Every structure is written in C-alpha cells, then in structure tokens.
Amino acid sequence: MTLKSTPDRYGTMAVSIHWISVVLILILIGSGFRAANTVDPAAKAAILRLHVPIAVAVLALTILRIVWWWGFDRKPDSVAGAPRWQERSGQLVHVLFYVVILGMIASGIGMMVLSGAAPMIFGGDSSLLPDFWKHPPRLPHGIGARLLFALLALHVGAALYHHFVRRDGLLWRMWFGK
C-alpha cells in the first residue's frame, strides 16, 4: 500500500487520517453528550479535560486531511456501476462532515472563550464552571453534535450497503493492505 491513493483505493495517509478521526470523533460525541448531561462541575470538568484536547486533535487531522487532498493526493475513481446520485450524495456527505466538524470546533472554541471556562477546566476551581447554555455558541454546538451523529449513521449505512448489498469493494478501499 502506498502513501498516496491510487485510482482504485485510498493510500496509507488517507486511510490513517480517516480511521484515527473516526475513533476520536466517536470519543468526542460520547464525551460531549456525557458532559452535557453531567451536573457535578468537577465531573464535568474531568470529562472536558479529555474532550477539549481530542477536539484540537480532530481539528489538526481535519486540516491535514483538507491540505492532503488539495495539495498532495487525489481520491480514487468512483466505484464502477454506482448511480450518479449515490456518487453525488457521497460527495455531499463528505463536504458536510468537514463543515460540521469545523463548525463544532469553532463553536467549542467560542464557548471556551466566551465562558472563560478553560482555566477552570485545566487546573482552576472546577466548582466555578459556568453554565455553558448562557453562551450563544452552545446551541449550535449541540445541534452540530446531532448533525455529526446523523452524518456518521448515514455514512456507515452507505458503507455497509456497498459492502453487504452491492458487494462492490467500496469499504475495502478505505482499509490498509491490498
């Protein structure tokens, strides 16, 4: 397997970024919903001490992925026999992933800045943790989390459809090896 993609499969760099991002985003979704439903400020701060650095890592991976596609690699060709609407839908979902991920990170940064919570989360008195709902970025952050979850479900559903129904090898293109 090469670093760059070939016409029939994704390269090591794209596959690595994809699967690392998947794991980190799943952790973010889980920790985000858990933090939102946690009342105890110390427990919420502990969850956010995990959540915030992982979000920064996802931002770095997303930027790396965008730079990689624009400057160094090209995506494999479309799967033979796939209807045009499926190809376009797949492209739209991928663009929406980028938009939602970047929007989630922007709203998360906005919440941290406007609430002044960072010092309380990372070493200060966590009992003074603010109510994030009092800050405007909280609503889009929550909506974005639900959109991200829906996009993930759609993406996984499409991958499983291609793997089990169409049996066209699409899923294997985004994995390591031959």
pLDDT tens column, 4-49: 999 999 999 999 999 999 999 999 999 999 999 999 999 999 999 9
| 55 burial level (CB within 10 Å; 0-12, 13-18, 19+) | buried
pLDDT at residue 80, as a whole number:
85
For the question of whether the overall pTM of this predicted structure is more than 0.75, the answer is: yes
Q: Which amino acid is at 164?
A: F
Measure CA 157 to chain center: 16
Sketch out the chain's domains with CATH numbers.
12-75+84-174 (1.20.950)
pLDDT at residue 51, as a whole number:
98
**3-state SS assignment for residue 6:** strand
Q: How far, in Å, CA of 175 to CA of 18, rounded?
A: 9
Q: How far, in Å, CA of 32 to CA of 145, rounded?
A: 8
Q: Is the pLDDT of residue 177 over 90?
A: no
